[in-house]
Structure 1
Amino acid sequence: MTAALPGFAGRTYLFEVDNGAAFRNSYSADGTRLRWEGLGESAGQYEDVPLHTAAIAPGIWFISWTERSGITVSHVMDLNSLTVKVFWTWEGETGRVGELHTGTLTPA
């Protein structure tokens, strides 16, 4: 039996975060990879990353990845309401730092 593709597979979204950050997130056709591109102040930054995914409920997905820089990102994407809860962590001067944010998705 073949698992169903994630609802975000093969799609691109503009992801706008409550702190003003914005990204263009393009997901591979099979839903296993993400290419994120920074917009605005983050313009010019991008990376292709493998994803860890799990279905939570119809249209709701948990997605996580680790970037080359050591930043970890975890999303709960609600494709029904086009909203995201995101938690990212990075190594700060005094240890690991984490932030929780909300954001919106706009199909691109």
Structure 2
Amino acid sequence: MTAIAFPAIGHVFRADYGERVYRVAFDADGKTLRWAPFPAEDFDAAATTETYRSLPIRPGVFMVTWKEADGTTVTHVEDFEHDTVHASITLPDHTFLNLTGSWTRVD
């Protein structure tokens, strides 16, 4: 099977779920991302850095996962073809969130 390149590496995206909007910057190393609420006056100061894993589902669609320091787990299904993102998030208190929104490259 040919490896499918993750198209987000080195780019910044806006995940807009309606009431919740985030900026997600994928570092060029292909291993870390930084995220913060959008808009953050000073993204670098507000951003949280996470180590993520991306798995191709099909060309243009990837599952991206990470675990935050407080125990929050995040799973994104990022659809670069249709500019959508689906998120499943488990918070430390075990609250489970399902969000769907637009996925827009902003850099």
Q: Same fold (TM over 0.5)?
A: yes
Q: How does 1:2-81 map to 2 (within 5 A)?
A: 3-18=3-18, 20-39=19-38, 45-81=46-82
The alpha carbon displacement at 1:3 in A equals: 4.5
Structure 1 runs of 4+ with >6 Å offset: none
Identity of aligned residues (%): 26
* TM norm structure 2: 0.84
- The secondary structure found in structure 1 opposite 2:70 is coil
The alpha carbon displacement at 1:51 in A equals: 0.5
The alpha carbon displacement at 1:68 in A equals: 1.2
- The residue type paired with residue 11 of structure 1 is H
The alpha carbon displacement at 1:91 in A equals: 2.3
Tell me the C-alpha RMSD between the 2 structures.
Answer: 2.1
Which has a greater percent of strand?
1
* TM norm structure 1: 0.83
Structure 2 gap segments, 5+ residues each:
none
Q: How many residues align?
A: 102
- The residue type paired with residue 13 of structure 1 is F
Structure 1 gap segments, 5+ residues each:
none
- The secondary structure found in structure 2 opposite 1:8 is coil
